[in-house]
Structure formats: structure tokens, C-alpha cells
A and B are shown apart, each in its own frame.
Chain A
Amino acid sequence: MMPDESYAAVMTRRTEIMRRSVGIDYERYELDGGIAFDTEALAESPPYSIEDVRQIQLRHKVGDTPLLELTRLTELVRRSAPAGKGARILVKDEAANPSGSFKARRASMCLAHAADQGFRGVIAATSGNYGAAVASQAAMYGLKALILQEVFDSAGRGQPEVLEKTRACEAYGAEVWQLTVGPELFYLHLLLLEETGYFNASLYTPYAMLGVETLGREIALECAERFGRHPAAIIATHSGGGNVTGTARGLRGAGATDTAVIGASVDLTGLHMASDRDFNRKSFTTGHTGFGFPFSVDPDRVDVPRNSARGLRYLDRYVTVTQGEVFFTTQLLADLEGMERGPAGNTSLAAALVVAREFDADELVVVQETEYTGAGKHPTAQLTLAREMGVEITVGRRNEDRPGERIVLPETVDEMDVTEVDLGRLRRSYLRRVAARAGRRPLADYEIEFLAADLNTTPDFVQVEWARSAGARQPAVPVSATGGAGG
């Protein structure tokens, strides 16, 4: 008999489907009470040392990407920085990975694991570079790759960047399901996992995180060797939390405990990520607040029982930039440094052009990724779509920027800024959600310890806020296209 394919029936089978398709017994890491789990034990569960990971990645053409100094952008920043300020800006050219982004690292260990476990194929639900990374790595292992992407609005209008990713995935031999807008992507993901028996190459497993650790490690080791110091700050484009988590763990593992980890997202506040109308009114498909905020405050709402990507646990600071600032930065990178690169890394680079002014001129600020660019990904492709959707494009002040209505390009680099995200507010929001699920009850000591670590805060903060939130109304859980966030 065919299994019941209705939405409700498939969702009730989700735990079982996920357990079979990911090869990890998550129950083992759960602690009593449903709030805490053993994060470190889960993170260390893959049977690979960091040196094993490096060797596996090098065999599959991943990693050891160049760390490039952006001397002309640094010089431009110093012109408007206070005397003696303006850190050296470096960028890790992750576009040099085989599929053109750091996601090759994240995919590599998932594919290694899938191959070890004897799966014939893998499935990933992602509209981002991760799909191409999974397809590219699968091609190297001789495994099949099936990718689900959120591509169209209901009028059939495709997001240019995601259309490019469809092309890339098919070029690597993947079967691609192009979908209209909505979180039911997760439902179809489950249905196809069940139908094919393939491995769930989730973005959020410990394998995916382990693959990113080499990125932070390479930066820490190379900076120590070339410059005799660790970076003062690393800026990572922040979305689902994996980029931040893997990089931060890699840095720490290599001894760079003095480096500040700064997340940067494109500000898309006001646009609903599951809205058919809003879908093509945004010019960025990942690395934005539409994923960065909900994934920070509700990390476990993904396609595996526990998310190994935990942004708040590792972020020292979180800033946003505007869409216009990222487009301007993309232009500057081409015009002053002779590098055309895709949108994702340019979000953190836009933040770096502002943040570098805070640091001394002999310090290092590292932008930890670039990605490839091309048709659909380029600013001209996105701004053409924006115009067609009625979004105004102007040159002016950043406070005139309105996501979905107006994109404002800054006149000069001096006009750029970052908006600080209140991490305390995100931490409180996270705790309210946990409290709404767990009910009004006192926390055990190990739960306080877990929450404090997961929020990168003090036990006192957790206790005070827990007492407050336990009596509060249940918050609305933001809708995000589960599994599709990427960075």
C-alpha cells in the first residue's frame, strides 16, 4: 500500500524519516527535560579528526583557498578613518572551491559520511550555494544528488540567483525540483527522502559543521604565520548559523580565542520569507535577516532533530547592512581590487568596510568567504528584477532604504554604516520560545548551563529572563523555509 502522502500524515512521520535518512541517533545526545542536549558530544560524534577532515577535503578539491589582502579597499577606508585606525582587510577567496563557495566544505563531510554509510544518493533542500556544493561533491563520490529549491512565485517568475543555482546543480548531474514559495518544501523533502531512501545531506548536521571548521582553522594558522597575529575580528555572513558556527569552532580549535566573531546579514526586515508577494521583492536569497533572526532565536526548527549550527552560541557581535551597501561593495571589489565575486561574501565585506575603521591600522579584519558570481547572481541581474517588481533604486542615505520598496546605493564608502543587532533581545526571544514549549517550570542547573552556553551569556541572565518569560505569552514562531537558509 502507498503511504499516505497528505501534508499532515507525512509531517507525523517526520521523526522516523529523519532518523533513517541522516544516520545519527540524536536521542543519545538529549538531556532530560527536552530543553538541553549535549552539544559537544554531538559536535564530536563524527569519527574524523580535524586532520582527517583536511585530508578528505583536499582529496575532493576543497579548501586551502587563498587569503587575499585587499590593500586598495583598506586604503579607501583609512581615508575616512581616525588617525592610526583602519585595519588591514583580508578576504578568504572561497570562490576557489570546486563549486564556487565555502559550501563545498559543508557538503564534503556530509558526502563522506553518506558514502561511508552506503547510501546511493543524497537529498538537500536548499536554494543556496549548498545545492551546487552537494551536487559537485556527489559527482566526485559517484553518488546521486537530488536538490529541492524555492525558485518561483505563483506567477512563475523565478528568482535569478536561484535559477542560476538550478543550472549549476544540473550541470553537476543533479535532479532539481524547482518549487514555488512556501515552507512545504520541508514536506516534499520528507516525501522524497521516504521515496528514494537517500541520505539527508542536511546543512545542519555535525558533519556539515565539521566541514566548515577547516575554514576558520586555515585563517587562524595563516594569519599567525604571515602576520604574526590572529585576526582582531572575523566577519561572517550570517543566515542559518552554520557559517558562523563552523568558522568560530575552527578558529578556537586553532588557538585564535582572541578573535572577535562578527556576524553580518543583509537587512530585509519587513519582508516575509514565506510570502508569495514578497518573494521577488528581495534582492538577496540568503545571508539576510529573514533567516538570520529566526534561526538565531529558534535554531532547532530545521530538517534534523537538533541543529548543530547555533549562531548565538558563537557570535560576539551581529550587525546588519543594507542591500544597497552590498551592491555598492560588490562594485568596489571589482573596481578597486579587480575581483568580481558573488553576493554572499560581499555582505560581510560591506560590514568590514565599516568595522575596520574601529581597529588599529596594524590589526587584521578578515572577511571569511567569497562566492562565484555569474548570470542571475550579479547586481545588475538583481537590480533589474527589483525595478521590474516596482522597487525604487536611488543613491542616497542608508536610513532611506526600505526593503521591498527602495534600494539606496551609498554615494561613498564614508556613507556606509552598520546597524548593531541587540543580541540581548535575540537571547530573550530564544528563551521565550523555549519557555513556551517547556512550560512554566524551574530550570535544572544543567539546563541553565546549557542555555547560558547556547546564548553566549551568563547563568544569571538566563535565570532572570527565564523567570520573566515563563509568565509571558507564547510568541509567534517566524516562518522560514526550513532547510533552505544556507549560511
Chain B
Amino acid sequence: MADSPRDPPIASVHVPEGEWVEIERVVLRAPARARNVPPDTALTDFVARVRGFLVAGADLGSNATVRTLLDREVGGRLVEVNPRNPANFGDPVPALLRLGLEARHSLDEGGGSTDARRSGGRPRR
């Protein structure tokens, strides 16, 4: 496996041993990729990121080794300290809220049964 293509940061930041960190490594450089990948993917490196506890103090951007949750050592370029998981709930989608509300109104107008609605009942409170 080749090294990471990322440039090291300009100012060196030392990360002490034992920190929970993320490393990145290029598994396959673009020219070494499988032949059946689409043209856009073929232009990119195949990259992996793995997290673990830093085995020995190292500068951000330099090569380092981590001890993973499986107690295995994996090497790569040190890219992040205490990496945040960026998944969140995103922004509200007002259209979905409106559509849900309308479905609720349509079901509950006239008391929730088909017969009641046909008889022209009013929405329940």
C-alpha cells in the first residue's frame, strides 16, 4: 500500500502518544485500480481511513501507527485527532412536515372512518 497523498499541514502540530486519532492511507493509487471502475472513479486514488490510539507521539500529517479497537497496529498518515463523526439530522424539510400534516387531516376529518368522511363529518379536535 502506498502513502497518503495529503500534504502535511504548514505548522507542525505534535500529537502525544495515546490520543484517539484517525489515519489515512492510499490502498491503491489511481493507475493501480481495478480495470472495471467507471472513468470518473478511475482518476481517483482508493483511500482508507482507520481510527485508533496513537502508538507513539507524531506530528499531524506525518506517518504514524495506531492501535485499533481490535488491538491491531495499522499505519498511515496522521490526519485528525479525536475525529468527530459528521453525521447529523441535517436541515428541516418543511414540505415533508406539511405533507404529513395533510395526510393526518385527511384521515381524521370526519372521525377516522370512511363512512364518516362520506357523510361529510368535520375534522376531530
Which chain B residue shows the least CB distance to A86? B114
What are the residues of chain B within 8 A of A154 when measuring CB–CB? 41, 44-45, 47
Please tell me if the beta carbons of A381 and B38 are within 8 angstroms of each other in the complex: no
Encoded as 1 (CB less than 8 Å from any A CB) or 0, chain B from 28 to 72 comes to 100011101110110111111111100000000000000011101
Encoded as 1 (CB less than 8 Å from any B CB) or 0, chain A from 159 to 179 comes to 011011011001001111111
**Complex partner residue of B85 from A166, A175, A179, CB under 8 angstroms:** A166
In the complex where A7-B33, A380-B89 touch, is A274 in contact with B38 (Cβ < 8 A)? yes
Q: Does A188 contact B (CB under 8 A)?
A: yes
Encoded as 1 (CB less than 8 Å from any B CB) or 0, chain A from 56 to 96 comes to 00000000000000001001101100000000000000000
Please tell me if the beta carbons of A160 and B104 are within 8 angstroms of each other in the complex: no
What are the residues of chain B within 8 A of A151 when measuring CB–CB? 49
Q: Does A144 contact B (CB under 8 A)?
A: yes
Please measure, in the bound complex, the distance between the C-alpha atom of A382 and the C-alpha atom of B93, giving whole angstroms: 10
Please tell me if the beta carbons of A177 and B50 are within 8 angstroms of each other in the complex: yes
**Complex partner residue of B100 from A145, A181, A335, A382, CB under 8 angstroms:** A335
Please tell me if the beta carbons of B36 and A72 are within 8 angstroms of each other in the complex: no
Which chain A residue shows the least CB distance to B38? A275
Please tell me if the beta carbons of B114 and A175 are within 8 angstroms of each other in the complex: no
Please measure, in the bound complex, the distance between the C-alpha atom of A331 and the C-alpha atom of B117, giving whole angstroms: 23
Please measure, in the bound complex, the distance between the C-alpha atom of A387 and the C-alpha atom of B51, giving whole angstroms: 30
Please tell me if the beta carbons of A188 and B40 are within 8 angstroms of each other in the complex: no
Please tell me if the beta carbons of B85 and A411 are within 8 angstroms of each other in the complex: no
Q: Does B120 contact A (CB under 8 A)?
A: no
Please tell me if the beta carbons of A170 and B37 are within 8 angstroms of each other in the complex: no
What are the residues of chain A within 8 A of B112 when measuring CB–CB? 72, 75
Please tell me if the beta carbons of A176 and B50 are within 8 angstroms of each other in the complex: yes
Please tell me if the beta carbons of B47 and A479 are within 8 angstroms of each other in the complex: no
Please tell me if the beta carbons of B103 and A276 are within 8 angstroms of each other in the complex: no
**Complex partner residue of B88 from A160, A336, A387, CB under 8 angstroms:** A160
Please tell me if the beta carbons of B41 and A381 are within 8 angstroms of each other in the complex: no
In the complex where A182-B37, A383-B93 touch, is A7 in contact with B50 (Cβ < 8 A)? no
Q: List 12 A-B contacts (CB under 8 A).
A: A76-B103, A158-B86, A163-B85, A177-B49, A180-B46, A184-B27, A327-B96, A336-B100, A336-B107, A380-B90, A381-B87, A413-B103
Encoded as 1 (CB less than 8 Å from any A CB) or 0, chain B from 66 to 82 comes to 00111010100000000
Please tell me if the beta carbons of A179 and B46 are within 8 angstroms of each other in the complex: yes
- Select the stretch in A285-293, A371-379, A454-462 that faces chain B: A371-379
What are the residues of chain B within 8 A of A174 when measuring CB–CB? 69-70
Give chain B's interface residues, CB within 8 Å of chain A.
1, 27-28, 32-34, 36-38, 40-41, 43-52, 68-70, 72, 74, 85-93, 95-97, 99-104, 106-107, 112-114, 117
In the complex where A152-B47, A179-B46, A380-B91 touch, is A7 in contact with B34 (Cβ < 8 A)? yes
Please measure, in the bound complex, the distance between the C-alpha atom of A7 and the C-alpha atom of B30, giving whole angstroms: 12
Listed residue (B40, B44, B92) with the most chain A CB atoms within 10 angstroms of its CB: B40
Please tell me if the beta carbons of A328 and B102 are within 8 angstroms of each other in the complex: no
Q: Which of A380-399 contact B (CB under 8 A)?
A: 380-385, 387, 393, 395
Please measure, in the bound complex, the distance between the C-alpha atom of A79 and the C-alpha atom of B111, giving whole angstroms: 13
Please tell me if the beta carbons of A375 and B87 are within 8 angstroms of each other in the complex: yes
**Complex partner residue of B47 from A79, A179, A183, CB under 8 angstroms:** A179
Q: Does A412 contact B (CB under 8 A)?
A: yes
Please tell me if the beta carbons of B50 and A175 are within 8 angstroms of each other in the complex: yes
Please tell me if the beta carbons of A163 and B99 are within 8 angstroms of each other in the complex: no
Please tell me if the beta carbons of A184 and B33 are within 8 angstroms of each other in the complex: yes
Please tell me if the beta carbons of B96 and A183 are within 8 angstroms of each other in the complex: no
Please measure, in the bound complex, the distance between the C-alpha atom of A336 and the C-alpha atom of B61, giving whole angstroms: 51
The distance from the CB of A258 to the nearest CB of chain B, in whole angstroms, is 28
Please tell me if the beta carbons of A121 and B103 are within 8 angstroms of each other in the complex: no
Please tell me if the beta carbons of B51 and A180 are within 8 angstroms of each other in the complex: no
**Complex partner residue of A167 from B33, B85, B113, CB under 8 angstroms:** B85
Which chain A residue shows the least CB distance to B104? A335
Please tell me if the beta carbons of B87 and A158 are within 8 angstroms of each other in the complex: yes
Which chain A residue shows the least CB distance to B52? A175
Q: Which of A331-348 contact B (CB under 8 A)?
A: 331-332, 334-336
Q: Which of A17-55 contact B (CB under 8 A)?
A: none
Q: Does A402 contact B (CB under 8 A)?
A: no
What are the residues of chain A within 8 A of B107 when measuring CB–CB? 72, 75-76, 79, 336
Please measure, in the bound complex, the distance between the C-alpha atom of A387 and the C-alpha atom of B94, giving whole angstroms: 14
Please measure, in the bound complex, the distance between the C-alpha atom of A432 and the C-alpha atom of B37, giving whole angstroms: 22
Please tell me if the beta carbons of A328 and B49 are within 8 angstroms of each other in the complex: no
What are the residues of chain B within 8 A of A170 when measuring CB–CB? 51, 69
Listed residue (B40, B90, B103, B106) with the most chain A CB atoms within 10 angstroms of its CB: B90
Please tell me if the beta carbons of B103 and A332 are within 8 angstroms of each other in the complex: yes
Please measure, in the bound complex, the distance between the C-alpha atom of A413 and the C-alpha atom of B41, giving whole angstroms: 39
